[in-house]
Amino acid sequence: MKPKVLIMSGYGINCEAESAHAFELVDAKSQIVHINDLISKKVKLSDFQIIMFPGGFSYGDDTGSGNAFANKLKNNLWLDLIEFINSRKLILGICNGFQVMVHLGLFTLPHTFYGQRKYALLPNTNNRYECRWIYIKTNPSKCIFTKDIDMIHIPVAHGEGRFYCDQKILKKLKHNNQIVFRYCNAKGQKAKGFYPFNPNGALEDIAGICDKSGRLMGMMPHPERAIYLINDPEFHLKKEIAKNKGEKLPKFINSNLKIFKNAVEYFKN
């Protein structure tokens, strides 16, 4: 049976179609649902196996990126969401979705509970909206979504993506293997905070984390916008190089598609 994926929608979110398409490509059944339809019980969270909070600018980010959307969800759907999590299901948040999950306090540590916020995604250090392709490298972790992934070429598009937490929390994240992705250069070497390899000044180059179970992940870069190789800004160069070598380029950027495939395989296995 195909796992059902709830693509969360609402005012200002704009990556629903790409997100739904990515999951459809790896044999899941996607449904884009407005948060109001969940609140009114037209659709139930319990009918799905995966929730995805997509990117965008929910409620215009007027009260901080992801904050208003997180509050609306927490005030109306919190018990349903906790029941969903306790059913050993999966949640993925990308960019604005990551921001929503941070506000909701979904990235638990050992001996902490859902709803306790421990992190922040602050304005980029250059105080500018960053829209560029960067590299990230997986960090050894317990995360379901990152199995068999090494390094990824991927776009970012955000103004508030600078991951931050205090040193005590950072130590626990490291100890429990919950740091999922780190920014790096094209050779896979640590960005060490240097721009543009680290596009926002994130603490220790952190681009994504997971909760203590490894079933909930958030990341700032956008894999759903980089599924096809033709999306890559270096596509035409790679095409000519492959042509000269008599080789054929793959259709997909498999490392990015693998994030969605891993989620689907979690249920099929």
Task: Write out the catalytic residue numbers.
Answer: 95, 222, 224
Alpha-carbon distances of 72 from 39, 60, 142, 146, 240, rounded to whole Å: 9, 14, 30, 29, 49
**240 CB contacts (<8 Å, ≥6 apart)?**
none
DSSP helix/strand/coil, 75: helix
Q: What is the separation, in whole angstroms, between the first and last Cα of the chain?
A: 11
| Per-residue DSSP letter, 267 | H
User: Token pair for residue 116?
Assistant: 């306790």
What tokens were used for 136? 């990230």
What's phi and psi for 90, nearest 5 deg? -115, 145
| Cis peptide upstream of residue 140 (ω within 30 degrees of 0) | no
Of the candidates 201, 219, 199, the residue with the CA atom closest to the CA atom of residue 209: 219
One-letter identity of residue 25: L
State the sign of the Cα–Cα–Cα–Cα dihedral 15, 131, 64, 59.
negative
